[in-house]
Amino acid sequence: MIRLYTGELCIHCHRVRLALAVKAVDAERIKVDPDSPAAELLEQNPYGDVPTLVDRDVTLYEPDIIIEYLDERYPHPPLMPVDPISRAKSRLVVYRMQRDWYADYDRILTSSKSKAQSARRSLRESLTAAAELFEDQQYFLSHELTVMDITILPLLWRLPIAGVELPDEAGAVKKYAEEQFLTNWFKASLTTDELNMAR
């Protein structure tokens, strides 16, 4: 069985757990304290960070690499488009989400009160400005579930605990999120701590 070393609240671990859930791949979840990684994890990953995935003789420990590996190892349903141009565009969207939205989220959690408040405002305004991208399609920028969805959904799930409340102008974002949060695969991806986040 695949082993996944995962943090209970880690947003990047959640992305990998989503990929596993979408593909209905069973994996043993090994809970890790990111501040005190066990010797067992350090034997697999010299950095001792999560997520770390072990599949037989393969050990991977960077979320984008893990997700692409899972997509190739378990090709159905696919998370990446078939043609190279669309694949590149999907990777670029994921990169931008991490560079902009995930960066704001990290600042909310780690910065001083004033900088955290500025990051909340930035994230709220940016998501609101992107609301039209969530309209007219079931998934984010696509009619099919993709790697873009499994990147944005962990962030949207964490907005309440980050103190980010989206305005009515972001109604399409909120509708998209609530619909996806009700799916079996999303529910299966959550840890106990994530389930207990204020909704």
Closest listed residue to residue 79, CA positions, set 140, 146, 150, 152: 146
Position 39 pLDDT exceeds 90 = no
Position 75 pLDDT exceeds 60 = yes
Task: Round to whole Å and give the CA distance between 30 and 5.
Answer: 5
Question: What pLDDT was estimated at residue 171?
Answer: 96
Bridge partners, residue 55, by sequence? 58
Question: What pLDDT was estimated at residue 199?
Answer: 55
Tokens of 60: 């991977």
Q: Does residue 50 contact residue 13 with C-beta atoms inside 8 Å?
A: yes
- Name every residue whose Cβ is closer than 8 Å to that of residue 155 and which is 6 or more positions away in sequence: 11, 97, 101, 102, 105
Least confident of 44-48, 105-109, 169-173: 44-48
Give percent of the chain with pLDDT exceeding 70: 99
Give, rounded to a whole angstrom, the gap between the first and last alpha carbons of the chain: 33
Q: Does residue 52 contact residue 10 with C-beta atoms inside 8 Å?
A: no
Overall pTM surpassing 0.85 (yes/no): yes
Question: What pLDDT was estimated at residue 117?
Answer: 97
Stretch 34-47: mean pLDDT = 86
> In whole angstroms, what separates CA 39 from the centre of its chain?
26
